[in-house]
Structure 1
Amino acid sequence: MGASDWHYHVPYQEDLGAALEELRQRVFLAGDYYWVRGDDRLSEDERRPRPSTLDELWADEWTQHSGTHSILDVFHVQREDEVPEICAVRPVTAEEARRAAGTDRLTRDHLPAIQDLARERWYGRCAVLHDDRGTPREIYFWGWSGD
């Protein structure tokens, strides 16, 4: 199948980890992810209904290998000073923002400039986006995952 890109906008909150967890719950409950065991190419014997919890989803070996091609494939937000870790989200640093977009107060207009900051499969990024007055308004999560 190959990797898929994904991107989401959520209302701003100071706790990026809480924002990620709320987003993951929303995506899971909406069923807005690839469920490998529901693929039409599988035989009836191999198909399974969607899991009822995230723990059940990730207990499935096929999901562990293929992923969900969504935000569900990343599990936590790293601190800026941590070494990038697979299945995690790293915030865009002020230095990265200035280098890519010429400012550390990113807006939606800057998204094309920062897209390439998420280049690796199974990694996510996030950026706080501001309004015209410089007030944080939303968090943008994006990345690549899945096999």
Structure 2
Amino acid sequence: MGASGWDYSVPYQEDLVGAFDALRRKVFQERDYYWVSGADWRPEEERLPWPGTEGELWADEFAQEAGTHSILDIFRIIGPDEKPDDSTMKQVTEDEALRVLGTRKLTRDHVPRFEEFDCRRWYGRCAVLHDDQGEPREIYFWGSSGD
């Protein structure tokens, strides 16, 4: 199948981890992810029902291997000095934004250029997006995952 790119936007809040956790819960509850063991390419008798918990999801061997092609494949946000690893997400810092895009205050207009930030498969990024007055308005999450 190959990896899938994904992105989400949520209203700004100071608690980045809280926003991340709430988004993951929403994606899971709304079934806005790929459930390989219930996929419609499988014969009807082989399809499993959607998992009721993330524990059930990740207990599935196929889900562990193929992922969900969503933010559910990312388990934690790492600090600015940590090296990215599989299933982690790193926030774009103001210094990185300045170095890569020439501004400390990213806006929605910058999103098309976010591929210029370091990002790879099974790793996510997030950035605070600002309005025209420089006030934070949303948090944008993006990445690529799945096999």
Moved more, 107-116 or 135-144: 107-116
Aligned-residue offset at 1:115: 2.5
CA contact (8 A) 1:100 1:114 kept: no
Shift of 1:45: 3.7
* 118 and 3 in structure 1: CA distance in 2 versus 1, 3 angstrom threshold: farther
Judged with a 3 Å threshold, the aligned counterparts in structure 2 of structure 1 residues 80 and 18 are, in CA distance, closer, same or farther, namely same
Moved beyond 3 Å, runs of 4+: none
Specify the alignment match of 1:130 in structure 2. 130
Number of residue-to-residue matches in the alignment? 147
Which amino acid is the alignment partner of residue 91 of structure 1? Answer: Q
Residue 34, structure 1, aligned to residue 34, structure 2: yes
* Aligned positions of 1:114-129 closer than 5 A: 114-129=114-129
Contact persistence 2:119–2:125 (CA under 8 A): no
Q: Matched residues, percent identical?
A: 59
User: Which residues of structure 2 form unaligned runs of 5+?
Assistant: none
Secondary structure of residue in 2 paired with 1:77? strand
Farther off after superposition, 21-30 or 110-119: 110-119
The whole-number CA distance in structure 1 between the counterparts of 2:56 and 2:113 is 37
Give secondary structure in 2 for the equivalent of 1:127.
Answer: strand
Deviations 1:85-124 (A, max 9, x none): 2101100122221122210100001112222325311000
Deviates more, 1:126-135 or 1:96-105: 96-105
Mapped to 1, the partners of 2:36 and 2:118 lie a distance apart of 24
Greater mean deviation of Cα atoms: 41-50 or 17-26: 41-50
Q: How far apart in 1 are the matches of 2:74 and 2:22?
A: 13
Q: TM-score of the superposition, structure 1-length normalised?
A: 0.95
Q: Is the aligned partner of 1:24 residue 2:24?
A: yes
* CA distance in structure 2 between the partners assigned to 1:38 and 1:19 by the alignment: 28
Following superposition of structure 1 onto structure 2, how do residues 86-125 of structure 1 map, counting pairs within 5 Å? 86-125=86-125
2:58 equivalent to 1:58: yes
In the superposition, the TM-score normalised over structure 2's length comes to 0.95
Matched AA of 1:115: E
Q: Distance in 2 between matches of 1:20 and 1:57?
A: 18
What is the root-mean-square deviation of aligned Cα atoms in Å? 1.1
Cα distance in 1 between the residues matched to 2:71 and 2:104 = 24
In the alignment, structure 1 segments of 5+ residues that lack a partner are: none
